[in-house]
Amino acid sequence: MSAFTADYAKASVRISPNHGERVDGQKPDMLILHYTGMPTAEGALDWLCRAESQVSSHYFVHENGDVVQLVPEARRAWHAGKSVWHGNTDINSASIGIEIANAGHPGGLPRYPQMQVDAVIELCRDCGERWSIAPERVLAHSDVAPRRKLDPGENFPWDLLHERGVGHWVSPAPITGGRFFQRGDQGQPVEALQSMLSLYGYGTEISGEFSDKMAGEVEAFQRHFRPERVDGIADFSTIDTLHRLLAALPRYGA
Ligand SMILES: [Zn+2]
């Protein structure tokens, strides 16, 4: 493919061959945020641009805030893999993928430098405005692929993004004692929690049984919305935070 003009004015272009048509000519209405999970940014960028990797993203954000565009927004980049949100299993056709250079869990979860966070916010705002992307559709890779993916990780400052107009967020409820649900539990309260996770968008099955898969979804939820403790146990703080997020959604709220 020949060179293209960056969709985001501040991005430089480095072409990745790893993309295709968006199915049914879809327009992106989600942003999916990733970390690279590799030791160096250059190594990660090189991998995303190599045909043999079969992976890519639309954007790549360096630690110093420099933004590179690899795939035109109109095309389907290959970043989400097997994933689901609100029943849609072709997240690549519905989204713009943003890779953030960070060594991630394998590298001991290094902090995201402020310059890099600022650049991610500005990029998300630009894409969000150009494509009218709803705040609650700015998501982590781990939200759409729980258990399989952990990125961008519990260190990613979703609260700061929200302060500056990106993404959906409520202050997490403090962690206290009280009743909780975990792997192996069954019954109506578990079913109610499954309904809430599913209503928010997670691929949770409503079975009334707290399975390993469900624990992974609770972990993914915590990693994004209650990062202080990510343990897959649905404590009061987790459930209350989810409840208030649902109430704050435009279509379910007052
Ligand atoms: Zn990812």
Q: Is residue 206 pLDDT above 60, yes or no?
A: yes
**What's the CATH number where 94 sits?**
3.40.80.10
* Strand ranges for 143-196 from DSSP E: none
Separation of CA 33 and ligand 1 centre (Å): 7
Q: Are residues 219 and 102 in the same domain?
A: no
Instruction: Return the CATH number at 231.
Output: 1.10.101.10
> Residue 228 catalytic?
no
151 and 44 co-located in one domain: yes
Query: Is 128 part of a structural domain of the chain?
Result: yes
Catalytic-labelled residue, pool 99, 136, 154, 217: 99
The answer to whether residue 2 scores a pLDDT higher than 70 is no
Please tell me whether residues 65 and 148 are part of one structural domain: yes
**Cα three-residue angle 210-152-18, rounded to 5 degrees:** 110
Is residue 226 domain-resident?
yes
pLDDT in tens, 136-179: 999 999 999 999 999 999 999 999 999 999 999 999 999 998 88
**Ligand 1 centroid to 52 CA: how many Å?**
18
Please say which residue of 114, 148, 163 terminates a domain.
Answer: 163
Of the pLDDT bands very low, low, confident and very high (cuts 50, 70, 90), residue 3 is: confident
CB 207 within 8 A of CB 229: no
What residues have their beta carbon closer than 5 A to ion ligand 1?
Answer: 34, 141, 151
Helix/strand/coil for 60: strand
In a domain, 4, yes or no: no
User: Is it the case that residue 32 has pLDDT exceeding 50?
Assistant: yes
**What pLDDT score does 252 carry?**
56
Question: Average of pLDDT values for 210-231?
Answer: 98
Bridge partners (DSSP) listed for residue 98 = 33, 59
pLDDT above 70 as % of the chain: 98
Does any domain span residue 44?
yes
Distance (Å) from CA 95 to ligand 1 centroid: 13
Same-domain pairing of 201 and 240: yes
pLDDT at 235: 97
Average model confidence (pLDDT) for the chain? Answer: 96
Q: pLDDT value at position 254? A: 43
Q: For the segment 111-135, what is each residue's pLDDT rounded down to a tens digit?
A: 999 999 999 999 999 999 999 999 9
CB 12 within 8 A of CB 49: no
Residues spanned by the domain of 237:
188-248
Same domain, residue pair 192 and 159:
no
**DSSP calls for 66-122:** -EEE-S-TTSEES-S-S--BTTB--HHHHEEEEEE---TGGGT-PPPPHHHHHHHHH
Give the residue-averaged pLDDT of 44-53: 98
- For residue 181, tell me if it sits in a domain: no
Q: Tell me how crowded residue 247 is: count the other CB atoms within 10 A of its CB.
A: 11
- Same domain for 86 and 149? yes
Residue 243 has pLDDT above 60, yes or no: yes
From ligand 1's centre to the CA of 186, what distance in Å? 32
Q: How far is the CA of 87 from the centre of ligand 1 (A)?
A: 19
Distance from the alpha carbon of residue 148 to the mean position of ligand 1, in angstroms: 10
Give the chain's domain count.
Answer: 2
Reply yes or no on whether the pLDDT at 1 is more than 60: no
Q: How far is the CA of 160 from the centre of ligand 1 (A)?
A: 20
Residue 86 confidence (pLDDT) above 70: yes
- Residues 6 or more apart whose CB falls under 8 angstroms from that of 147 comprise 213, 216, 219, 220
Last residue of a domain, one of 146, 163, 180: 163
Q: Please compute the mean of the pLDDT values over residues 91-109 and round it to a whole number.
A: 98
- Asked if pLDDT for residue 253 goes beyond 70, the answer is no
CA of 152 to the centre of ligand 1 (A): 7
